[in-house]
Amino acid sequence: MGFAVGGQAYPINYVAEPEATGGARIWPQMEVFDVSAGFPGVSLGKTALIPVKNGSYGASFVPVTGHSYHVATDVFTDNTYTALLGPPGRMGTTESVQCGLITVPGATVIVGAQIDIEIQGFEMDIEIEC
């Protein structure tokens, strides 16, 4: 399992944890060794956070090659870079990572970056006023 940048294949390591509603949320810790094909705006040691477009919880998320992502939002806070990327697919389906198509506005291409990607879930609080 892995992804390709510029014709070069790279591995993706996965970490899975039980999830309260059953099943597991899995997020890859992806090491990008060559982003010359275009992975701008992500600097060494920073974290790109990807929210899962979760059609359903309880199933595994297995990224594979051949699927692209785009930036939904990006935030700089306290020297921490957070890029919310989408659409990364849905839990329970086979999705992928293709780094060459990830773009971040106003940023610089970094070669040799290491990027941890977390597949995120969604939560919600509701206040009701009767």
Partner 1 sequence: MAKATNNVIRGQTFKGLCHLKTVNAAGQNAQPYVVVPSDVVTVHLPPDSKAVPPVANNILSSAISGQVTPNFGIPGDVAFVCPAGAGNPGSGQMLVGTNLGIDVRVLHLDGTVDIFEAASVINVADPLNP
Which residues make up the interface to partner 1 (CB under 8 A)?
A: 15, 17, 19-20, 25-27, 49, 51, 53-55, 72-73, 75, 82, 84, 86-87, 118-130
Torsion on CA atoms 49, 54, 58, 59, rounded to nearest 10: -80
3-state secondary structure string across 60-72 = CCEEECCCCCEEE
Token representation of residue 103: 């773009």
Residue whose CB is less far from partner 1, 7 or 78: 78
Q: Nearer Cβ to partner 1, position 44 or 124? A: 124
User: Toward partner 1, which CB reaches closer, 26 or 42?
Assistant: 26
How near is the Cβ of 63 to partner 1 at its closest, in Å?
Answer: 13
- Whole-angstrom Cα distance, residue 85 to residue 97? 11
